[in-house]
Amino acid sequence: MNRREFSLAAGALGLLPVAGTAHAQAAAFKAGTDYLVLPRSVPVDAPAGKVEVIEFFSYNCPHCAHFEPDLEAWVKKLPADVAFTRAPVPFVGNDVEAKQKLYYTLEGLGKVDEYQGKLFKLIHEDRQPIFGDAAILAWADKEPGLDGKKFADMYKSFTVAGKVKRVTQLQNSYQVSGVPAFGVAGRWYVDGETARSMERALQVVDFLTGEARKKA
């Protein structure tokens, strides 16, 4: 979603792979066309021996909501040496900081996997008004799977505030121009525009994680 609008209509573009073409497509992935090489390497948080993959997203982004089921299915199949994480960007909508704090609070409570898809559904399908600090805290207080006080304490914590500040630096380092998008191994950037669809972007990320292993 804005800064650039990404097309998720891979079928319409004829970019979805068919049986037997995966290797041919991987061989065709090119720097500057299918993905971008960062001018400067970005420090990674992944442990030694792991390839860091970051998804840049926003809860306010309808494209991110549409992409989430495919992303979750892909994440479940990732090799053990891929360290996947998410980064909520400071753009898309008028309550971006509140949505960033929402994500990092769930992360701190170990609840991201449980609530990521659920929140996209609540916001984009059910149209629940989860907008701004007060609404988010009220939602968490009524949510059966959350402890409202623990959520509020985490939401207002210096830890979460620090992560919100850091993600802006991370976004700028990866030169994120829209979401959903990926940063790989502190070296490469992929989004729906470079890869020409988000489905194809996942293939490019798979290719780049292989390249990262070669360079390790």
Q: What is the pLDDT of residue 4?
A: 47
Say how far apart CA 165 and CA 177 lie, in whole Å. Answer: 18
Query: Which architecture does CATH list for 31-190+207-215?
Result: 3-Layer(aba) Sandwich (3.40)
Q: Which two tokens stand for residue 82?
A: 């891929």
pLDDT tens by residue, the chain, 216 residues: 545 444 343 333 333 443 444 454 556 799 999 999 999 999 999 999 999 999 999 999 999 999 999 999 999 999 999 999 999 999 999 999 999 999 999 999 999 999 999 999 999 999 999 999 999 999 999 999 999 999 999 999 999 999 999 999 999 999 999 999 999 999 999 999 999 999 999 999 999 999 999 987
Instruction: Say if CB 168 and CB 131 are below 8 A apart.
Output: no
Question: Would you state the pLDDT for residue 26?
Answer: 55
Q: Which residues contact 99 (CB under 8 A, 6 or more apart)?
A: 58, 59, 60, 88, 93, 136
CB proximity list for 81: less than 8 A, separation 6 or greater? 49, 50, 51, 213
Question: By the 8 A CB rule, do 120 and 62 touch?
Answer: no
Measured from the Cβ of residue 171, the count of other Cβ atoms closer than 10 Å reads 21
Instruction: Work out the number of other CB atoms within 10 angstroms of the CB of residue 53.
Output: 25
Furthest CA-CA distance within the chain: 53
Chain CA centroid to CA 69, Å: 12
Residues paired with 209 in a beta bridge = none
CA-based nearest residue to 101, from 48, 39, 47, 166: 166
